[in-house]
Amino acid sequence: MNKTAIWAIACKDIRSMTSNKQIWVSMIILPLLFGLLFPAGAVLFGKNIDLSSPKSTKLLNSFTSNMPEQLQAMMSMNPPLTANEQLIYFFLNYTCPSLFLLIPLITTTMIAANSMVGEKERRTMESLLFAPISVIDLFLGKVLSALVPALAISFGTFLGFTVLMDGLTYNIFHELIFPNANWLILMFWVIPTLTLCVILFNVLISARVKTFQAAQNLSGVIVLPIVALMVSNSTGLLLFGPIPLLVLGAVLLVIGLLFLTRIAKWNQRHVLFEKQIH
């Protein structure tokens, strides 16, 4: 493994990405919307909405009665939470995790889909394939060029989310509710491993097609439904404690490592020539 070559490829791709204003606008708007503006708006809405009517109370009870026992215990504070406070707590610990899963995954789909096929469109693929580096090092550099920006954006958004949500909810809960152990495991263990798996899959697709549009379309058709399914089923994981989150992250890490070991065998140098040059 040539670490210098891997890092050089990653830095080259990151510089190329930072020079593209269209990509940066998308990467800034998405975290602002999902990680800051939407949660802040929901908290302010939860503070001011009238939940005193029987219909509203019945609707809220239908949500809370189906929640896991751990979340119900978390919401049993002293003094007891009002209906508005329960709604806010439920949103922050049940809905927001799915939003934070989407931020790096959509970001990496945009970046990684352009990784290999972008070299062909810029007419730089030939020089990479003739360079004295292994195929696995080439793929590792491409993976790193998508992983670093995605995680940097995710962690930065989470920092802003933590400060903003604590500021908006301190007068409600009279304590800083972020970050807690479950959120930290989600952000620094589950999201990196899940992001790695999605990047590997997107880089593989990018190596097999001839245009960026084809890579993006294929990534959207195959990756996004899988991501949506995982997000819809993983929102409740945050409510059951650290163990399921640790297990999920470990499983995703193993899948990613196994996938990485197969990439070089699936994409030998002559195969990349046939797919990208001709």
Sign of torsion, CA 95 180 226 222?
positive
83 — pLDDT class (breaks 50, 70, 90):
confident
The tally of domains found in the chain comes to: 1
272 — pLDDT class (breaks 50, 70, 90):
low
Q: What is the pLDDT of residues 165-183, one digit of tens each?
A: 999 999 888 888 888 888 9
Range of the domain at 16: 3-276
133 — pLDDT class (breaks 50, 70, 90):
confident
pLDDT higher at 253 or 214:
253
Least confident interval from 7-21, 52-66, 147-161, 253-267: 52-66
Half-sphere exposure of 61 (CA within 13 A, CB side): 7
Q: Which residue has the tokens 């890490």?
A: 253
pLDDT of 39 strictly over 90: yes
Enter the pTM of the model.
Answer: 0.82
Name residue 98's amino acid. Answer: S
pLDDT of 40 strictly over 80: yes
42/25 Cα distance (integer angstroms) = 24
Residue 158: the pLDDT is: 96
Tokens of 254: 């193993």
Among the residues of the chain, which ranges form H helices?
Answer: 3-18, 21-31, 38-48, 54-64, 69-75, 83-90, 96-112, 117-121, 125-130, 135-173, 181-185, 191-208, 212-234, 242-266, 269-276
With a CB cutoff of 8 Å and minimum separation 6, the contacts of 146 are 13, 108, 111, 112, 115, 199, 202, 203
Evaluate the omega torsion of the peptide bond into residue 179 and state whether it is cis, within 30 degrees of 0. yes
Q: What percent of the chain has pLDDT over 70?
A: 68
Residue 191: the pLDDT is: 92
Q: What percent of the chain has pLDDT over 90?
A: 18
With a CB cutoff of 8 Å and minimum separation 6, the contacts of 23 are 17, 110, 111
252/188 Cα distance (integer angstroms) = 13
Q: Please tell me whether residue 253 adopts helix, strand or coil conformation.
A: helix
